[in-house]
Amino acid sequence: MTTSHPGMDAETFEQFLEQLNRYVRERLIPAEREIIENDEIPEEIVQEMRDMGLFGLTMPEEFGGAGMNVSQYARTIHAISYAMPAFRSIVSINIGMFCSALKNGGTAAQKAEWLPRVAAGEIAAFGLTEPGAGSDSAGMQTTAVKTDDGWVLNGTKRYITNAPYAKVALIMARTSKENLPKNAHVSAFIVLMDTPGVSVGKSDKKMGQAGSTIADIILEDVHVPDDALLGGETGKGFVYAMKSLDNGRISVGSAATGYARRALDSAVRYATERKAFGEPIANFQLIQQMLAQSEIDIYAAECMLEDVTRRADAGENVLRKAAAFKVFASEMCGRVVDACVQVYGGAGYLAEYDAERFFRDARIYRIYEGTTQILQLQIAKHMLREFHANA
C-alpha cells in the first residue's frame, strides 16, 4: 500500500471544473466543425489549453503543475471528453503517459528537466507500439545499443499520437537481445524529436477522431546521452510504461464515459425534435428503451470511474480494476453511440449530423491503451494467479 494522494484543494478544483465545463461548451464544441475540416486543432486553442494548465493537471506543484489526484484528473478528462476526442488526446499523452512514467521512474534530474516543460505544454509522445508489436513486448524490434557516451537507437514506432507535433518522446527499446522475465529486456529513453536520425512519417488517415494526429516515429542510428535512460537503469522501461498505462486506461475509460454522455444528450435532443406519425419520436416506447438503457450504461461506468479513482488515490494497486473500467466504459460507449445512430434513423448515417461522427470516433476506445481482448486476458490472468496463491 502506497501513500494516499490528497490532490488539489477541493473547492478550488470544483471552481476549475465549472470553468472547464463552460469552456468545453462555449469554446471547444463550436470549434469542432473547423477541426474536422482541417484535421487539426487551431494553435490558439492549444495555447488557451496551455494557459488553463490542462497540460500539467497531475504534475506536482513544484514542477509547475496543478497537483491533481487521480479522481480529479479523471473528472477533468471526463469533462474535456464531452467535446470531440482530439482535445483529450493532445493533453492526455503528456499527463497520463509521459508524466506518469517520469514521476514513477525518472531520476531527480530528469523530473526537474522535463516535468516543468511538459506541464507548460511542450507536446510529448509515447513510443511503445511497433509495426509488429503492440500488446506483445516480446516482439519489440526497436533496439538501444550501449556506446561509450550513451546509446544508439534504431527502429520504428507506429500509431504514435502527437508524433507530428511532439517536442519529446518516451521511446521503449530493447536493451537485451534475449527476452527476459518481467520484460526486463525493455528500457525507456527520453528522446528529443529534433535529435539527428529521428524522423516522423506522414500522418495516418483514420476512421474517426479528427484533429488527433498519429504517425510513425522512425529512429535511424539515433544517438542519445546516458542521462536519456529513464531512471538511469536498464530493464525498467516496460514496468514504468505499464504503470503509466493504468493512468492511461483510466483516462480512456473517463473519455469514453464523457463522450457517451455527449452522444446520449444529442440523441435525447433529436428524439424530442424529430416528429413521426404526428408526434415526437421520444414518445415512442422503443425509442425510450434505447435512451433509458444508454442512461443505465453510463451510470454504471460513472460508478466504476468514481470507485477505481478513489482506490487509486488511496494507494491501492488498481491494475485489474483500471483494466475492468476501461473495458466496460469503452464497450459501453460503443453501445451508446450505436443507439444514438439508431435514434437518429436515416439521418444518423449522414455526415451532416453528429451521430455518424460519434459512432466513428468511439470505435478506437475499444482498441488503444489495451484492446478489450488483451485486457480480458490480463484480468483473467490476475484472477487465476490470485486463486492459486490463496489455494
Q: Pairing state of beta strands 186-192 and 150-161?
A: unpaired
Q: What is the pLDDT of residue 280?
A: 97
Q: What is the pLDDT of residue 156?
A: 96
Report the share of the chain in percent with pLDDT over 70.
97
Of the candidate ranges 174-178, 276-280, 374-378, the one whose mean pLDDT is the lowest: 174-178
* Residues facing residue 172 across a β-bridge: 188
The question of whether 295 is a catalytic residue gets the answer no
Tell me, yes or no, if the pTM score tops 0.75: yes
Euclidean distance between CA atoms 331 and 348, whole angstroms: 20
Euclidean distance between CA atoms 92 and 81, whole angstroms: 11
Amino acid at 163: A
Q: What is the pLDDT of residue 94?
A: 81
Helices (H), 150-284: 237-273
User: What's the DSSP call for residue 58?
Assistant: S
* Residues facing residue 156 across a β-bridge: 218
Q: The C-alpha cell of 328 is what?
A: 466496460
pLDDT at 5 exceeding the cut of 80: no
User: What's the DSSP call for residue 133?
Assistant: B
Instruction: Mention the CATH class of domain 239-390.
Output: mainly alpha
* Helical (H) or strand (E) element with 127: strand 124-127
Sorted by where each begins, the domain ranges of the chain are 10-121, 125-234, 239-390
Buried-state track 24-48, b at ≥16 Cβ within 10 A, e below 16: beeebbebbeebbeeebbeeebbee
Euclidean distance between CA atoms 66 and 344, whole angstroms: 40
Q: Pairing state of beta strands 214-225 and 150-161?
A: antiparallel
Q: What is the pLDDT of residue 87?
A: 94
Residue in this structure with the C-alpha cell 507535433, named with its chain if needed: 165
pLDDT at 2 exceeding the cut of 60: no
Report the share of the chain in percent with pLDDT over 90.
73
Q: What is the pLDDT of residue 180?
A: 77
Nearest CA to 343 among 296, 277, 301, 283? 283
Nearest CA to 145 among 232, 237, 221? 221
pLDDT at 4 exceeding the cut of 60: no
Give me the architecture of the 125-234 domain, per CATH: Beta Barrel (2.40)
Q: What is the pLDDT of residue 1?
A: 39
Helices (H), 234-390: 237-273, 285-313, 319-344, 354-362, 372-390
Mean pLDDT of 45-56: 92
pLDDT at 46 exceeding the cut of 90: yes
The 10s digit of each residue's pLDDT in 329-370 is: 999 999 999 999 999 999 999 999 999 999 999 999 999 888
Q: What share of the chain is helix, strand, coil (3-state, %, to 5)?
A: 60, 15, 25
The 10s digit of each residue's pLDDT in 203-248 is: 888 999 888 889 999 999 999 999 999 999 898 877 877 777 777 8
- Interacting residues of 372 by C-beta distance below 8 A, sequence separation 6+: 327, 330, 331, 366
- CB-based contact 266:362 (threshold 8 Å): no
Q: The C-alpha cell of 232 is what?
A: 538511469
Nearest CA to 77 among 253, 336, 261, 312? 253
Q: What are the backbone dihedrals phi and psi of residue 189, each rounded to the nearest 5 degrees, phi first?
A: -130, 135
Q: What's the whole-number average pLDDT of the chain?
A: 92
Q: The C-alpha cell of 32 is what?
A: 469542432
- CB-based contact 309:71 (threshold 8 Å): yes
pLDDT at 375 exceeding the cut of 60: yes
Amino acid at 161: T
Superfamily of the domain at 10-121: Acyl-CoA dehydrogenase/oxidase, N-terminal domain (1.10.540.10)
The 10s digit of each residue's pLDDT in 150-166 is: 999 999 999 998 999 89
- Interacting residues of 159 by C-beta distance below 8 A, sequence separation 6+: 129, 204, 214, 368
Euclidean distance between CA atoms 307 and 318, whole angstroms: 10
Q: What is the pLDDT of residue 135?
A: 63
- Nearest 5°: the CA angle 37, 39, 41 is 105
Exactly one of 43, 130, 369, 386 is catalytic; which is it? Answer: 369
Mean pLDDT of 1-27: 85
Instruction: Return the sign of the alpha-carbon dihedral for residues 195, 198, 199, 204.
Output: negative
Q: What is the pLDDT of residue 137?
A: 65
